[in-house]
Amino acid sequence: MEDKTLMVQLNGEARAVAPGSVSDLLRSLEIDPRTVVVELNRAIVRRTALESTSIKEGDEIELVHFVGGG
Amino acid sequence: MTTAVGTQLDQPLVIGGRTFHSRLMVGTGKYHDNETMVRAIEASGAEVVTVAVRRVDLDRRKAEGILHHLDPEQHFLLANTAGCYSAEEAVRYARLAREAGFNDFLKLEVIGDRETLLPDTAGLLEAARTLVADGFQVMAYTNDDLITALRLEDAGCVAVMPLASPIGSGLGLINPYGIRIIKKRVSVPVIVDAGVGTASDACVTMEQGVDGILMNTAIAEANDPVAMGSAMRLAVESGRLAYLAGRMPRREIAVPSSPTTGMLG
């Protein structure tokens, strides 16, 4: 992989990430895609589309899951 | 259940076409540790457990999702939109929750005030209409106001969830009249959500004739959450049975229980 990185907003924080797909990003974060839901620029990315969805400069990415709540 | 005076069978709780075996629903927040949470839920006998949608903590990976501890095969996961202060925000959270892939049910909350956590009923109705149109089975957390409950039913909600008292307050059932009139006038199940503090609160709430109760803090913040889970199971069952049994009338004078005849002369 080239050393060029993309600046994105990941869960509200500016982060430099390697170019690639959403799947690649989850892999680099060691997150099992079955345990999270991904939102990219306010649109949900279906699990079946994680591999084919590329990350672009300036993307806003949210990774959410279920936590304890009432 | 067969009684001495005949058979009075309780109907199962059905919400949005799905049958639930317990009238007690419990939250999963505020527990000191996950093991206690799991044991308390087990003791409560609850089938429906609520969960919240939040960001994955990218740096502190030890803060695992709740599904590391709760088996979705054993429990019915009811996602909430807790912490949402507008219809738009609640709809966003709802869609993320559904994408997790468990079911289409949602405990809809649109909060209007940070101090009381009372619902924003205008936002609630707006979000409910949007989500019902989007195929959600919406269970709406609302206040003890009949008109809002009727509007939520009109909007297509599968259950209305009026509060007993504010979230996390433990003040018990403040307005039994409000809850009874909602139950009387609304056709969909009425699940009282929030405010129950201890077993007697749960029992009194069920005695109003409502279909179920959802609680979190009363169990999670008890000194012994597992014992309180058990107490709440019994209280909900007891209150339900007492409601079905039909209580004696209240009188302001005494009526002797023993015969007044046959006394010694």
Does residue B12 belong to any structural domain of this protein?
Answer: no
> What mean pLDDT comes out for the span B101-128?
96
Q: Report phi then psi at B128, rounded to 5.
A: -60, -45
> What mean pLDDT comes out for the span B84-107?
96
Does residue B126 belong to any structural domain of this protein?
Answer: yes
Q: In this structure, what CATH number is given to the domain that contains residue B77?
A: 3.20.20.70
Among chain B residues, the shortest Cα distance to A26 is held by B58
CB pairs under 8 A between A and B: 93
Q: What is residue B163's predicted lDDT score, i.e. its pLDDT?
A: 98
Mutate to test the interface with B, among A22, A42, A66 (most CBs of B within 10 A): A66
Question: Rounded distance, CA B196 to CA B258, Å?
Answer: 37
Token reading at B93: 């959270």
pLDDT at residue B7 is higher than 50: no
Nearest to B239 by CA among B197, B194, B204, B192: B204
> What mean pLDDT comes out for the span B110-117?
96
- Average pLDDT over chain B reads 94
CA distance A68 to chain B (A): 4
Q: Report phi then psi at A64, rounded to 5.
A: -125, 160
Contact residues on chain B for A48, CB-CB shorter than 8 A: none
Where in chain A are the domains? 6-64
Residue numbers of the domain that contains B179: 19-56+63-244
Does residue B258 belong to any structural domain of this protein?
Answer: no
Does residue B252 belong to any structural domain of this protein?
Answer: no
List pLDDT tens digits, range B179-232.
999 999 999 999 999 999 999 999 999 999 999 999 999 999 999 999 999 999
Q: What is residue B168's predicted lDDT score, i.e. its pLDDT?
A: 94
Does residue B210 belong to any structural domain of this protein?
Answer: yes
- All residues at 6 or more sequence positions from A19 whose CB lies less than 8 Å from its CB, including other chains: A1, A2, A4, A5, A6, A54, A55
Strands B48-55 and B191-193: unpaired
Q: What is residue B67's predicted lDDT score, i.e. its pLDDT?
A: 86
Residue ranges of chain A with per-residue pLDDT less than 70: 1-3
Interface contact flag, B27 A69, Cβ < 8 Å: yes
Among chain A residues, the shortest Cα distance to B194 is held by A70
Under DSSP, the state recorded for B91 is H
Q: Are B97 and B72 in contact (CB under 8 A)?
A: no
Interface contact flag, B216 A70, Cβ < 8 Å: yes
DSSP H helices in chain B? 34-44, 87-99, 121-133, 146-154, 176-185, 199-207, 217-220, 225-245
Q: Are B179 and B208 in contact (CB under 8 A)?
A: yes
Asked: is A6-64 a CATH 3.30.70.20 domain? The reply is no
Does residue B104 belong to any structural domain of this protein?
Answer: yes
List pLDDT tens digits, range B25-49.
999 999 999 999 999 999 999 999 9
pLDDT at residue B65 is higher than 90: no
Confidence of residue B4 (pLDDT cuts 50, 70, 90): low
Please list the residues that pair with B139 across neighbouring strands. Answer: B107, B159
Interface contact flag, B52 A42, Cβ < 8 Å: no
